[in-house]
């Protein structure tokens, strides 16, 4: 009798343990969201947000969002160019696969996109974008909103974009499920922020100016000799940072509207950028011509409006191509069975703290092809592959580059001439990676930029 009691007690303990584990696991798992808000902020460097250690007040709203969600410290884009980077977010394919290689090009119709997947899952889909040449990646959106600003035919400011989103939310019929993509272009050059936010960035005392410039030189490795003088440097950073603050303010306005409408109760917010900006690193101010990490390191914040995500940060390397598989896992959509060339992995284990391992060991990126504008363009194709310790940049013409990121995060010391097993391994892995991606691309190439985008691209300096 005593033996039976011990046996039954042991069984009860095991069952209780399983129940406790299940409850804990259930509480940490992400719920299937009713509303998904994807925000892409054009040309935003991760290291210019407060949550990534920037000393200026550029992003109080985004910092709060990050504090209440998961902040990915090492997220990387697949391209330093707007259209290919967005196309990779929407498809979990690299540019060499999806073929939308330049601004003004389109995705092949055969590619399965994020909006199409949400449509299949019963969500209403709406996209609001702020530069017209992103029209070519709009497959699957029920509403795809682009309206020119009378003062600027080519782009739309953040307040105008948010106005349109809010007006649409007020007019639309109630729906149980909504996927909303919002793109902001303001942080892209030319920097023309509202005057009040520019004034907030201006440093009055010489001591403040020196402290900030020392920060840029020491923490961001900005070469001060790149700028004509101190005034030129400060004007650039004041304007760039004020544009970030402008977008941050408009995002908070949108958040408050969703709160008023009760749409945030089970809403998942994903904040990222398509790529970063040079701002002087490697003596380059912009983005399209280079694929160093000032161009590729992007912010990534995933937060739940109802507070159902355990806050924290993730140091593992993640990629833009991981965003779509993360969302489809929440929807119960078997993505890899529908599109066998998918490159990303779900970030759910990292969000739920089930694993400290990076879902993607490597991050692959490529530079866009050269357009008609040839000035300052290094010849040939550029591809890169990196893990958390090393980065290899392949040049089809010219010398390759190899960096020890753990010791040299700003890629200042090219070790290509230093013999090492790590260099050889990264070079070989990059070659194999690229060959595999090329073999897994069966979509027809979209030839040429659509003529209606030529004026836009010329006005922005791309052509």
Give dist(CA 449, CA 162) in Å, integer.
Answer: 28
Which pLDDT value is given to residue 7?
46
Which pLDDT value is given to residue 127?
95
pLDDT higher than threshold 70 for residue 338: no
* Helix (H) or strand (E) run with residue 392 in it: strand 390-395
C-alpha neighbours within 13 Å on the C-beta side of residue 127 = 25
* 144 in Cβ contact with 90 (< 8 Å): no
* 168 in Cβ contact with 146 (< 8 Å): no
* Helix (H) or strand (E) run with residue 239 in it: helix 230-260
Residue (of 246, 311, 282, 265) closest to 403 by Cα position: 282
For residues 203 and 12, the model is more confident at 203
The DSSP line for 145-167 is E---BTTBSSB--HHHHHHHHHH
Give dist(CA 290, CA 278) in Å, integer.
Answer: 8
pLDDT in tens, 140-169: 999 998 765 555 557 899 999 999 999 999
* Two tokens, residue 125: 């889909």
Which pLDDT value is given to residue 80?
97
Structural domains of the chain, count:
1
Range of the domain at 149: 36-459
Task: State which of 28-37, 215-224, 451-460 shows the largest mean pLDDT.
Answer: 215-224
**Cβ within 8 Å of residue 157, ≥6 positions away:** 130, 149, 186, 246
Q: 């409408």: which residue's tokens?
A: 261
Report in angstroms the alpha-carbon separations of 93 from 82, 325, 431.
Answer: 15, 11, 17
pLDDT in tens, 27-45: 346 678 999 999 999 999 9
C-alpha neighbours within 13 Å on the C-beta side of residue 107 = 29
Neighbours of 194 (CB within 10 A): 17
Asked if residue 14 is part of any domain, the answer here is no
Q: 């806050």: which residue's tokens?
A: 311
Strand-strand pairing, 390-395 and 401-404: antiparallel
3-state secondary structure of 372: coil
* 389 in Cβ contact with 362 (< 8 Å): no
pLDDT higher than threshold 60 for residue 10: no
For residues 134 and 460, the model is more confident at 134
pLDDT in tens, 283-307: 999 999 999 999 999 999 999 988 8
Residue 196: band (very low, low, confident or very high) from pLDDT cuts 50, 70, 90? very high
Asked if residue 1 is part of any domain, the answer here is no
3-state secondary structure of 270: strand
Average pLDDT, the chain: 87
CATH code for the domain of 356? 3.40.720.10
Asked if residue 203 is part of any domain, the answer here is yes
* Helix (H) or strand (E) run with residue 70 in it: strand 70-76
Give dist(CA 211, CA 407) in Å, integer.
Answer: 25
Segments in 262-340 forming alpha helices (H): 293-296, 323-331, 335-338
Asked if residue 368 is part of any domain, the answer here is yes
Cβ contacts of 368-377, under 8 Å, gap ≥ 24: 368/79, 368/80, 368/81, 368/84, 368/95, 368/101, 368/102, 368/288, 369/101, 369/102, 371/102, 371/457, 371/462, 371/463, 372/463, 373/461, 373/462, 373/463, 376/289, 377/289
Q: Bridge-partner residues for 182, per DSSP?
A: 39, 128
Residue (of 393, 323, 240) closest to 70 by Cα position: 323
Asked if residue 15 is part of any domain, the answer here is no
Asked if residue 412 is part of any domain, the answer here is yes
* Two tokens, residue 198: 């520019």
Give dist(CA 314, CA 406) in Å, integer.
Answer: 17
Helices 206-219, 230-260: axis angle to 10 degrees equals 80
pLDDT higher than threshold 70 for residue 381: yes
pLDDT in tens, 42-71: 999 999 999 999 999 999 999 999 999 999
Burial of residue 445, with CB atoms counted within 10 A of its CB: 0-12 exposed, 13-18 middle, 19 or more buried: exposed
Asked if residue 6 is part of any domain, the answer here is no
Give dist(CA 119, CA 126) in Å, integer.
Answer: 10
Asked if residue 3 is part of any domain, the answer here is no
Neighbours of 311 (CB within 10 A): 13
pLDDT in tens, 387-403: 999 999 999 999 999 99
């Amino acid at each position: 009798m005593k033996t039976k009691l011990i046996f039954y007690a042991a069984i009860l303990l095991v069952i209780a343990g399983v129940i406790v584990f299940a409850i804990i696991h259930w509480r940490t798992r992400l719920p299937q969201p009713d509303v998904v808000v994807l925000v892409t902020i054009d040309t935003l460097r991760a290291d210019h947000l407060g949550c990534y250690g920037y000393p200026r007040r550029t992003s109080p709203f985004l910092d709060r969002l990050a504090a209440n969600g998961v902040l990915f410290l090492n997220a990387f884009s697949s391209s330093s160019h707007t259209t290919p980077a967005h196309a990779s977010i929407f498809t979990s394919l690299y540019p060499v696969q999806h073929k939308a290689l330049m601004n003004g090009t389109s995705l092949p119709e055969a590619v399965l996109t994020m909006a199409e997947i949400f449509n299949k899952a019963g969500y209403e889909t709406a996209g609001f974008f702020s530069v017209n040449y992103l029209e070519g990646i709009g497959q699957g959106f029920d509403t795809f909103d682009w309206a020119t600003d009378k003062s600027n035919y080519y782009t739309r400011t953040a307040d105008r974009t948010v106005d349109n989103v809010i007006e649409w939310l007020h007019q639309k019929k109630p729906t149980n499920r909504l996927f909303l993509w919002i793109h902001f272009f303001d942080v892209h050059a030319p920097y023309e922020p509202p005057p009040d936010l520019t004034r907030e960035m201006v440093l009055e005392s010489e001591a403040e100016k020196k402290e900030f410039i020392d920060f840029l030189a020491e923490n961001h490795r900005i070469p001060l000799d790149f700028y004509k003088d101190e005034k030129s440097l400060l004007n650039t950073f004041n304007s760039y940072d004020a544009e970030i603050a402008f977008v941050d303010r408009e995002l908070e306005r949108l958040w408050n509207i969703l709160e008023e409408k009760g749409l945030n109760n089970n809403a998942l917010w994903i904040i990222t950028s398509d790529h970063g900006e040079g701002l002087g690193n490697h003596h380059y101010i912009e983005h399209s011509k280079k694929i160093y990490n000032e161009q590729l390191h992007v912010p990534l914040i995933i937060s739940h409006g109802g507070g159902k995500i355990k806050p924290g940060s993730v140091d593992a390397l993640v990629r833009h191509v991981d965003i779509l598989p993360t969302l489809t896992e929440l929807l119960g959509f078997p993505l890899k069975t529908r599109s066998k060339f998918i490159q990303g992995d779900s970030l759910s284990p990292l969000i739920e703290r089930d694993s400290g391992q990076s879902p993607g060991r490597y991050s692959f990126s490529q530079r866009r092809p050269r357009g008609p504008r040839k000035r300052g363009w290094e010849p040939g194709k550029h591809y890169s592959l990196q893990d958390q310790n090393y980065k290899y940049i392949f040049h089809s013409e010219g010398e390759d580059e190899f960096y020890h990121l753990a010791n040299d995060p700003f890629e200042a010391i090219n070790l290509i001439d230093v013999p090492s097993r790590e260099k050889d391994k990264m070079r070989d892995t990059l070659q194999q990676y690229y060959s595999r991606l090329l073999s897994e691309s069966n979509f027809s190439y979209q030839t040429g930029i659509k003529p209606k985008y030529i004026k836009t691209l010329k006005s922005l300096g791309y052509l």
